[in-house]
Amino acid sequence: MANFRNIKGAIQYSAEKMKKTGLFETERMVCDLYCFEPGQSQSPHAHEGSDKVYFVVRGKGRFQVGGEEKELGENEIALAPSGQRHGVSNPGSDRLVVLVFVTPRPSH
């Protein structure tokens, strides 16, 4: 596994649904890049025993964590603690790129 990555080359989109690209994975955490076309979303869900961090690299998105919903833009970050429902949508007209960390790594 490489210890260094340039995420610019990992940015990819899919017309069908959000594109998830794995960047790093260890026994303890996962780091992915989520790329959303306008109108795409990640359905709200929860991870028992794992925390998730969303960091907006490019664009703006709508983030749901627990009962709270907020629009975040570039260089903004959100935490979805273990057990809290969370999801992302891109209701805008521009693409959205989000760096995502999950720890500890989910068992599924």
- Tally of structural domains, the chain: 1
Residue 86 lies in a domain: yes
Residue 43 lies in a domain: yes
* Whole-number Å distance between alpha carbons of 84 and 47: 7
Residue 103 lies in a domain: no
pTM for this prediction? 0.94
CATH code for the domain in which residue 42 is found: 2.60.120.10
pLDDT tens digits for 41-87?
A: 999 999 899 999 999 999 999 999 999 999 999 999 999 999 999 99
What range does the domain containing 91 cover?
Answer: 24-98
What phi and psi, each to the nearest 5 degrees, are found at residue 42?
-110, 120
Residue 79 lies in a domain: yes
Q: Strand ranges (DSSP E) for the chain?
A: 19-25, 30-36, 41-45, 51-58, 61-65, 68-72, 77-80, 86-89, 96-103
Q: Would you state the structure tokens that stand for residue 2, as one six-digit string?
A: 């490489």
* Whole-number Å distance between alpha carbons of 59 and 90: 9
